[in-house]
């Protein structure tokens, strides 16, 4: 895997926390920051992708009317 350098400005308190965690885990602050960025991207890319797919399905008319959803949810537990 190739890598590149990225410069990021963070609050002093964030940097101090990162340095403490790096020291206590024996890992570099750069490795921890890279992992955090990767996890953030994984989460947010997934959310944006889901929203994009949902919006596209609505644009194609693949929606369930609100009244039907409300009635369905209201029926939960009534036939127990």
Provide the pLDDT for residue 80: 62
pLDDT in tens, 59-80: 998 999 999 999 999 999 887 6
Q: What is the pTM of this model?
A: 0.66
Q: What angle, rounded to 10 degrees, do the helices at 29-59 and 12-25 form?
A: 110
CB 19 within 8 A of CB 31: no
Mean pLDDT over 33-45 rounds to 95
């Amino acid at each position: 895997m190739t890598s590149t350098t990225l410069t990021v400005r963070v609050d002093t308190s964030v940097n101090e926390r990162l340095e403490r965690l790096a020291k206590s885990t024996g890992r570099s602050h750069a490795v921890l920051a890279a992992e955090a960025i990767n996890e953030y991207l994984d989460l947010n890319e997934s959310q944006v992708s889901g929203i994009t797919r949902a919006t596209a399905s609505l644009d194609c008319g693949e929606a369930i009317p609100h009244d039907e959803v409300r009635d369905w949810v209201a029926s939960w537990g009534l036939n127990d």
